[in-house]
Structure 1
């Protein structure tokens, strides 16, 4: 059995020590990620989250963050976007401030049309999500229904693949971890998943994330933020971090608070 809580507390405390924020301010900014679960979103809020997932996919977070305002201006609501055609696509492709990725732009337009169809059928996107009965009246989640929802959105929406579908689910407050390369790297080094099969162990990464969330009593979205910040490259303005700790190249093992649990630190 992995000591999930001890490890997570070590990750959390290390980030706070290396942040330019006070510990109180750090945790205050983290608190908003503890409120993603158990809330409803409007149709446009859901669409906004889907658009962001599409644009973040395969891109460095810092690049998309710098362009987020212009992305939001073009994709502010699904009803506007579903009427976009070649004229609007060309406008975006010629905009120096915009991310000029035609596949992503066209995918968001297709997704707006899918949104419209689902909302017409169910009444709202929230009702569509609720139709999967992911959570029962006692507050218990059905992992089977979570996976059914994952398969459904991956099938219905353009640019949602195996990892990005989980990304969307995490961002709308469902209890799954984003199994991206940063999280898998950290879990691999901690022995949570197999080093040789890291890229194939998406479901195991999801399960380990759930176990960590349950052990610390935090929503998965907040756990996810700590893991991502621990392994990300580059400065993070939100938490005033100069960079992550568990980096792919040149990890900062000398300041890592969970080094004694790491299978990697002793080999460098």
Structure 2
């Protein structure tokens, strides 16, 4: 039997996400933007809820193409608010448009969003060595700083807890527990 982090259920979609995505470093700007939007959509909900709707989000938000999203009309926003395939929260939907604008400004200013976001961890993933999921923090000084900077730069739904979940999701931090086959010490 494969040892995984204890939060993983027997759902094939969850297993695939854990085994192939969670904690794997992402440097692609569009994927980084998508994950930031999805983590924001998760606020107050479970990741499982969002993961099940991820494909619907990709369709609804033009594959998270920020250039298209910044041009959304009121009609398009109303269509999104009525879309049963996504979380129909007006503020969360609007935040994707707000974040797309901020994201494009960051790309212009820094050359890439990856360069900007990875600077919070000195462009190197943080590899933790947690014995149990109980040891894994929900925020850190880095997620606090990231949240503060993202908000200053115009992003919404980027509190410290969301930022830490984001860091885990895009591999800026590897929080696979020591017993998990995905922890780097088990892959050497």
The normalised TM-score by structure 2 is 0.67
SS class of match (2:173):
coil
Contact map agreement 2:23 2:174 (CA 8 A) in 1: no
Choose which of 176, 183, 187 in structure 2 pairs with 1:218. 183
- Cα drift, residue 32 of structure 1: 2.0
Corresponding residue number in structure 2 for 1:127: 115
Q: Does 1:44 align with 2:19?
A: no
Deviations along 1:130-160, one digit per CA (max 9) or x if unpaired, are 4446246xx878x866653343235432011
Please give the alpha-carbon distance, in whole angstroms, between the structure 1 residues aligned to 2:66 and 2:22: 27
Corresponding residue number in structure 2 for 1:83: 71
SS class of match (2:161):
helix
Structure with greater contact order relative to length (CA < 8 Å, sep ≥ 6):
2
SS class of match (1:91):
helix
Corresponding residue number in structure 1 for 2:131: none
Contact map agreement 2:174 2:183 (CA 8 A) in 1: no
Please give the alpha-carbon distance, in whole angstroms, between the structure 2 residues aligned to 1:82 and 1:61: 26
- Cα drift, residue 36 of structure 1: 0.5
Corresponding residue number in structure 2 for 1:158: 156
SS class of match (2:116):
helix
What number of residue pairs does the alignment pair up?
166
- Cα drift, residue 42 of structure 1: 1.6
State how 1:43-82 maps to structure 2 within 5 Å: 43-75=29-61, 76=63, 77-82=65-70
State how 1:196-211 maps to structure 2 within 5 Å: none
Choose which of 146, 162, 165 in structure 2 pairs with 1:149. 146
Over 3 Å off, 4+ runs: 11-16, 18-21, 26-31, 60-63, 130-133, 143-151
Distance 1:66 1:82, change over 3 A: same
SS class of match (1:153):
helix
Task: Give 5+ residue unaligned stretches, structure 2.
Answer: 128-139
Larger Rg: 1
Distance 1:109 1:118, change over 3 A: same
SS class of match (2:27):
coil
Corresponding residue number in structure 2 for 1:106: 94
- Cα drift, residue 168 of structure 1: 1.2
Corresponding residue number in structure 2 for 1:266: none
SS class of match (1:51):
helix
Please give the alpha-carbon distance, in whole angstroms, between the structure 1 residues aligned to 2:29 and 2:48: 26
- Cα drift, residue 165 of structure 1: 1.3
The normalised TM-score by structure 1 is 0.50
